[in-house]
Amino acid sequence: MSDDTSQRAIFATKIGAVAATVGSAVGLGNIWRFPYETGVHGGGAFIACYIVFVLLLGVPLLCAEFILGRGTRSNILGAFRDSSSGGRRWVGAGYMVILSSIMILWFYSVVAGWTLGYCYDSVTGSIAGMDSSEISDHFMEMTTGWRNVVLTVVFLLANAAVLLGGVTKGIERASNLLMPLLFVLLMVLCINSLSLDGLKEGMTFLFHPDFSKIDASVLLGAMGQAFFSLSIGMGCMTVYASYFNKESRLGRTALTTAVLDTLVAILAGVIIFPAVFTYGFSPEKGPALVFEVLPAVFGCMPGGMIWSAIFFLLLIVASITSTVSMSEISISYFEEELKMSRRNATILSSVLAMAGAVVCALSFGPLSDFTVCGMSMFDLLDYVTSNICLPVAGLIISVYVGWVVPARFTREQLTDGGSYPFPLYGVLMFVLRWVCPVAIMLIFLNSIGLL
């Protein structure tokens, strides 16, 4: 374990640390995935389950990742290895996490590429005036052609540019700049939404839960979404916490992150659903909601292309602060364990990301015949990472921090060596030891049909 005087980079300010952490959490998960999952799973009931999972599992797991990260000030392998005497036996989990983070980046950057394309098309006005079937054709054309590949690569190059700057000059600076921009864009779009005729219907859909709709698929969906949206179970938050300075209070940062992340997701719902209802579209469109329904919705609005451009810019901003955090998992590993320079580590990580992302991008067109279990490469990666890798890694982290890491270590991190109290310590430990593992296991077994 090293201390604050080591040469390792740390975020320069407390606010920068929070901006980066919230930046990692807030992403396509909030603005693309949350609304469509809510739409597919019937609205308010899904949101109610989601909020319960965020508080019950999300905040404790965030704390667990923060403890591992700041306690060891190390990449994800070191975080397991150095946090307990038996930690060496757990480093296998670290490798799994690194691999899954790269796999998430593969499909995530393809979607981020689409947002780039749509922002461009809104600014040039090329999607203006299209009706919904024309928009669907446009989306189809974009995802099946080579443009998909170009957009993905452009996005990953921008991602690499931020990462090359390093922890403070790259990640922290970009987060400090982009997160306020993200909140301004969100507010502008929300205000627009308040003036729409479908406001009441949209709000009822979002905030009037019909609890009879809750079933296993709603629960699994809500849990997967909570993990994905909070960036947990992937070591992302562990790596970021390894750059926290001594002043960052872990419990508070976890709560702030969870609250802001949930707020953004709900605001995204407030932006999207009133608009969808105003122009008579269905909310149950699934992943295409943001790319096929929304542009058509914007097309019906006065000044629609401006709103559309703002919306897709919002998505780009949100995505890049998230992909940066995913890439940092492998970069910190290459730097610290394989002793590479920051530059080479960033290049290697970006090349790996591009190689897989291009295959993923092509899985809609030229490679669409290549399927595993009936799923294209893209669907497979989304399914395997969100429904298997994240819960399994979440399970490992909760068991590891709950049962294996010494109490002295966890307490030291949560209270900064006793300088302030952490009254919920007992509750946190109980949740990590029992509630998280049991909840994750039950929902997981049910999802793969074993229960």
Binding site for ligand TRP (CB under 6 A): 24-25, 27-30, 104, 228-229, 231, 234, 236, 322, 325-326, 390
CB of 199 to ligand TRP, least distance (A): 26
With CB atoms as reference, the residue minimizing the distance to ligand TRP is 29
Instruction: Output the CA–CA distances (angstroms, integers) from residue 289 to 31, 139, 155, 296, in the order listed.
Output: 11, 11, 21, 10
**Residue number with CB closer to ligand TRP (25 or 266):** 25
* Shortest Å distance, C-beta 53 to ligand TRP: 14
Q: Find the distance separating the first CA and the last CA of the chain, reported in whole Å.
A: 42
Q: Please report how many Cα atoms fall inside a 13 Å half-sphere around the Cα of residue 148, on the Cβ side.
A: 26
d(CA 214, CA 361): 34
**Rounded distance, CA 321 to CA 198, Å?**
32
Nearest approach in angstroms of CB 228 to ligand TRP is 5
Work out how close the CB of 294 gets to ligand TRP at its nearest, in angstroms, rounded to a whole number: 17
Residue 393 contacts residue 97 (beta carbons within 8 Å): yes
Choose among 402, 418, 415, 60: nearest CA to 254.
60
Per-residue buried b or exposed e for 419-440, using 16+ beta carbons within 10 Å of the residue's own CB: eeebeeeeebbebbeebbbebb
Between 268 and 401, name the residue whose CB sits nearer to ligand TRP: 268
Rounded CA-CA distance 377/283 in Å is: 26
Least distance in angstroms from the C-beta of 195 to ligand TRP: 28
Interatomic CA distance for residues 195 and 210, integer angstroms: 26
Q: Minimum distance from CB of 175 to ligand TRP (Å)?
A: 13
In the complex with ligand TRP, the residue whose CB is nearer, 127 or 290, is: 290
Supply the minimum distance, in Å, between the C-beta of residue 269 and ligand TRP: 14
What is the smallest separation between the CB atom of 137 and ligand TRP, expressed in angstroms? 27
Q: Which is nearer to ligand TRP, 28 or 429 (CB)?
A: 28
Conformational region of residue 306, where left means phi above 0, alpha means psi within -120 to 50, and beta covers everything else: alpha
Please say which residue, 104 or 439, places its beta carbon nearer to ligand TRP. 104
- Taking the least distance from each CB to ligand TRP, the nearer of 111 and 127 is 111
Query: Are the C-beta atoms of residues 117 and 151 closer than 8 Å to each other?
Result: yes
Nearest residue (CB) to ligand TRP, 151 versus 329 = 329
The whole-angstrom separation of Cα 67 and Cα 125 is 48
Closer to ligand TRP by CB, 59 or 236: give it. 236
Question: Could you tell me if 65 and 235 are in contact, meaning their C-beta atoms sit under 8 angstroms apart?
Answer: yes
